[in-house]
Amino acid sequence: MLKCGIVGLPLSGKSTVFNVITRAGAEVKPYASGKTEPNRALVNVPDSRFDRLVEIFKPKSEKPADVEFVDLAGLSRDAGKGAGLGNSFLSFVSESEALLHVVRVFKNDSVPHPENSIDPLRDFRIVEAELIYRDLGVISNRLARLDEKKAKKKLTPQESAELDLLRELEAHLLNELPLREFPLTDEQKRALSGFAFLTLKPELVVLNLDDTQTGDVAELSGLEEEMTRKGLKSVRVYGATEMELEQLDPADREEFMRDLAISEPGRERLIHEAYKLLGLISFFTSGTDEVRAWTLREGSTAVDAAGTIHSDLARGFIRAQVVAYDDFIANGASIPACRDKGVLRLEGKEYIVKDGDMIEIRFNV
Ligand SMILES: Nc1nc2c(ncn2[C@@H]2O[C@H](COP(=O)(O)OP(=O)(O)O)[C@@H](O)[C@H]2O)c(=O)[nH]1
Ligand SMILES: [Mg+2]
């Protein structure tokens, strides 16, 4: 199950954004609570291709792809050094595969700001620094243990390599840079995966605006430059307004969206961006029993796809019958027509699955 954690300063609008995405109705309030247990909700990934396949096959059951969103308690200055909720909060972040970082841009005198002024760049840097401190802590614990061992006996070659790499990463973090800005090989990334470094996770910045803040927003100039420098992507959300929007009926909602010049509701925009950010693709299994969308990481093989459905399908994998959704639709949603045209293919284990593939696994166990 894919998990996306929402981080940000207290009162930046994290629960509001969570509600926009999930319609879960989590509590939203103008004061910081001492709550540590996060709000969680599963969200279906909106996909018009899936909807069309359901219309075509009229299956007995249907299941879209889903992502879990976790709304965490606010991260304050010095959390990484153990202040406030500190470590209990950070343990929830480490179980997320991607981060949505909510930054307050909106002005609202009835909502206090923990730093007492609206300054998105400063707020962004406070939270980034806390994530960096936490990763530094993880590294120094591990380095201490490796050093202790080294004092007693010789380290294995892997341990020596690990020690050297961790020292470099430590120096990098001490320059206040996240690990995602450190050049790591795929092999090194794999070796480090057990540490669940927070600053290595893909991150999407969510700019939470008032509905008066459209076009060029003066408050954003510094932060937008910083994100460009860091190669981070951002989405603009009118948190409070879009939360209300989710409660309107569709016609009113569309009018509202036109006024704000937003083409896709915040909910779908955020889910789609998170999905892209994570390098995720969908493939489909379809028939009259069930139409289902499945989530895979880009670059996964046909066997990985089989294993996502069921471990037996991966174990007894023979071949995958594949047709691209677009080809299927272009050929009148007819499998025999796809076969005649040669767009229905049989693929082996090593086939790299593409977004929108419709797949049927042939297997034998
Ligand atoms: N004006 C305005 N107020 C907002 C916006 N987003 C959140 N708020 C208000 O800010 C307060 C804190 O929001 P909440 O989502 O609970 O923040 P959290 O502490 O980060 O979870 C609430 O009173 C919200 O109604 C926004 O986009 N505009
Ligand atoms: Mg909250």
| CATH assignment at residue 310 | 3.10.20.30
Copy the structure tokens of residue 320: 């995958």
Q: Bin 222: left if φ > 0, else alpha if -120 < ψ < 50, else beta.
A: alpha
Segments forming the whole domain that contains residue 327: 299-363
Write down the mean pLDDT value for the chain.
Answer: 89
State pLDDT tens for residues 200-252: 999 999 999 998 898 888 999 899 999 999 999 888 899 998 888 877 888 88
Nearest CA owner, ligand 1 atom 5: 240
Same domain, residue pair 111 and 49 = yes
- Nearest-CA residue for atom 23 of ligand 1: 30
Q: Which ligand is nearest to the CA of 12?
A: 1
Structure tokens at 112: 């206090």
User: How far away, in angstroms, is 30 Cα from ligand 1 center?
Assistant: 7
Please tell me the predicted confidence (pLDDT) of residue 175.
Answer: 96
Using the mean position of ligand 2's atoms as its centre, give its distance from the Cα of residue 122 in Å. Answer: 20
Atom of ligand 1 nearest to the CA of 16: 15
Per-residue confidence band for 344, with pLDDT thresholds at 50, 70 and 90: very high
Predicted pLDDT at 291? 97
* Helix, strand, or coil (residue 67): strand
Q: Percent of the chain having pLDDT more than 70?
A: 94
Strands (E), 105-208: 203-208
Q: Which of 277, 310, 331 is the last residue of a domain?
A: 277
> Can you tell me the distance from the alpha carbon of 270 to that of 99, in angstroms, rounded to the nearest whole number?
12
CA of 222 to the centre of ligand 2 (A): 26
> How close is the Cα of 226 to the center of ligand 2, in Å?
26
Among the atoms of ligand 1, which is closest to the Cα of residue 239? 27
Same-domain pairing of 264 and 170: yes
DSSP-derived letter for residue 7 is: E
Of the pLDDT bands very low, low, confident and very high (cuts 50, 70, 90), residue 328 is: very high
Look at residues 80, 96, 95, 98 and name the one whose alpha carbon lies nearest to residue 139: 80
85, pLDDT greater than 70: no
Q: Residue 269: which pLDDT band, with cuts at 50, 70 and 90?
A: confident
Q: What pLDDT sits at residue 159? A: 93
Quick one: 306 and 183 in the same domain? no
Closest C-alpha to ligand 1, atom 19: 11
Pair 237, 99 in one domain: yes
Indicate whether 87 pLDDT > 60. Answer: no
Nearest residue (CA) to ligand 1, atom 16 = 28
DSSP 205-245: EEEE--TT--SS-GGGHHHHHHHHHHT-EEEEE-HHHHHHH
Residues 57-61, mean pLDDT to the nearest whole number: 97
- Assess whether 218 and 332 both reside in one domain: no
Q: Check which CATH number belongs to the domain holding 168 and give it.
A: 3.40.50.300
Question: Is the predicted pLDDT of residue 259 greater than 70, yes or no?
Answer: yes
Query: Do 212 and 355 fall into the same domain?
Result: no
Ligand 1 atom having least distance to the Cα of 28: 16
Tokens representing residue 159 in the block: 């341990």
Q: Ligand 1 test: best mutation among 19, 27, 28, most atoms within 8 Å of CB?
A: 28
The reply to whether 108 and 244 lie within a common domain is yes
pTM for this model (two decimals): 0.85
Ligand 1 site residues (CB inside 6 A) read: 8, 10-16, 28-30, 74, 106, 108, 111, 208, 210, 238-240
Q: 327 lies in a domain?
A: yes
pLDDT digits (tens, 9 = 90+) for 113-169: 999 999 999 999 999 999 999 899 999 999 999 999 999 999 999 999 999 999 999
C-alpha 163/C-alpha 324 separation (Å) is 46
- Smallest CA-to-CA distance from 291 within 14, 62, 45 is with 62
Closest-CA residue, ligand 1 atom 4, reads 240
| Amino acid (one-letter) located at 130 | E
Residues 6+ apart with CB under 8 A from 96: 3, 4, 5, 70, 201
Q: Is there a single domain that holds both residue 303 and residue 273?
A: no
CA of 29 to the centre of ligand 1 (A): 7
Q: Which of 126, 139, 116, 29 is nearest to 83 (CA)?
A: 126
Residue 81 has pLDDT above 90, yes or no: no
- Site of tokens 């993880």: 138
Q: Which residue has the tokens 């057990």?
A: 194
**What total number of domains does the chain contain?**
2
Residues 211 and 255 in one domain: yes
Please check whether residues 252 and 340 belong to one and the same domain: no
Q: Is residue 287 part of a domain?
A: no
Q: Are residues 225 and 307 in the same domain?
A: no
Q: Residue 331: how many CB atoms within 10 A of its CB?
A: 18
Atom of ligand 1 nearest to the CA of 110: 23
15 Cα–ligand 2 center, Å: 4
What DSSP character marks residue 353? P
Q: Which atom of ligand 1 is nearest to the CA of 30?
A: 23
With the most atoms of ligand 1 within 8 angstroms of its CB, the residue from 39, 104, 108, 208 to mutate is: 108
